[in-house]
Structure 1
């Protein structure tokens, strides 16, 4: 009976040990989880501190940039190395007897241009503010006044806007009165301007040059030039201006194009560059069809030094 009691106690002790081991393992797991959470919390706290430090540095920099002095000289911060003047900082004070003196050559500043130099190429017109003739008498004794000089008052820059006018050319004819009666063919002489009229349209050479200059130098579109002509009193549509440019450029640049063509054919080889462009209203082709603009250069056009 006593032996059964001891066996029962032994069994109970073994169960108690097993339960205690289980409890110990659970406690160890809880401790590990708590330690892990604490490490994560410390890591987040460290990241938060670093982030606050970075933000504070940015705030200090922006505050100094906004409210600090605007001098280009860089301030030295405590504890920060000077990368540019390190040698000068670490160098000992030199001996006055070993100092070398360098002489800097004197240089003069660029002379500022005067107002008279800026407008030296412009025409000058003087406006005389004269006294009316009925006021050129002395108010005291009535003696006629004499001119004693003139005084400079002010200077103005006046822009004279372009103007448009129509020029009619007439050729005057002269005939011999005797030949008109006696000769079989009358002798008639007409006035000529001395040069053939090669321009296309009513525009003069100066007008064509002006619209080309506005278009290709000042980048002024044709519709804006059309508005300018209307403002000056002339109803000229942009299509007419385009015809002036195209037809006259084709006529006057044709000799140059023929010259380059002859040079191109005479060369040993030719180099070409194709640039894709879109051409509208091209006969027999859709607007979406890709076209090419070719730039061709001959070996005759290349300098020999190349």
Structure 2
């Protein structure tokens, strides 16, 4: 240990040198204290955030109960693949001509509705009156929540005694040919699974209490077949969304089972929605195995419009290809809100007051035409934006580097051009909250169905949920919409498929 020098024995020059040395040490220690204080503030802020957002168990190991759900997903994928192969093949296959297992008759105690199908004309082409000589009957299982009923379809056989001509009404087209479910039962299964997030094993128990236990494998086959039939409708919905100049985009993680392993990895669902200011309300979900930006570029393809999104790097490549970035003011506000909620920062509180004034103007203009909305924004919001920008620049020079408030300010300042683009166009919203609301069904559902069993099952869920959520956005009951669509879809011309889109659908 070095002993302190005797100041009485030092000459003036040595005293000045010693004073300079001590001042330098004090300055160095001040810098260290300031650095540690900044780091401590940052860590305190992060700890406070983690305490506010508590997550459930994140282990990737599958319990036996979770593994049993995989059976449904495999059966559903197999049914979907078989349906696609059947549509592609033009000649009968061994799978088609092999002996089909005999189906057990539907329970006799279920109420039955008789539906008769007779020819439009009871006269033969030779002019003689036809005589009814018999009939064919088939039964379809229908379901009203809690009650099974049976539709008994009776097709009379009419023959001409003179020329021995046989006439019979054609078999009505169904989504699942020669299957027992009606469109209503299929719609119920789809809505329960993809809107109410009830796994098929739960639906199996519910049906059992109603009097008929439908095997999970059967339910899975129905879901797979319906997914294939509805895919052209989802493709048409995607085209309709991309016809708009302003689109919202957001993404959320979903666990997906890794092929060949009993563990999951993080996949993503992307949501693409029209603006709340658009004349069309629609959202399309896209399921991908990762968060790579290539999935966003693939979906948007050659679209060149204004994309409302957060600061995720995956969107950046699209901006280099001609897409215009629209920043989300809600994300900028959230940085300051978290800081104020954890540290009661006065700087963050001041920023929140500025942004609150901008949102007050948005509430005033939300129901106006785009031109009027643009004019009011220029008159009222633009001055606030200028004052907020100048204030942020001034505050950034005062706060320490690396602090939480510096990061909050940097987030806004680095994206400032994108954040204020909404002032230039009355059809552009101030934030991306609209799309975040549309992606919430996935956040609610993943706690029930736990994971996607495969890439195919994830894409099927994304497709069907696109139709269900778009139906909701247009004020339709998803069950009524899907029931009618599944009834009309088998006979709908491909050129008229757009008539069944949620924003154009009219119940018959």
- TM-score interval, normalised by the smaller of the two chains: 0.3 to 0.5
User: TM-score, normalised on structure 1?
Assistant: 0.35
User: TM-score, normalised on structure 2?
Assistant: 0.23
Higher helix share: 2
Higher strand share: 2
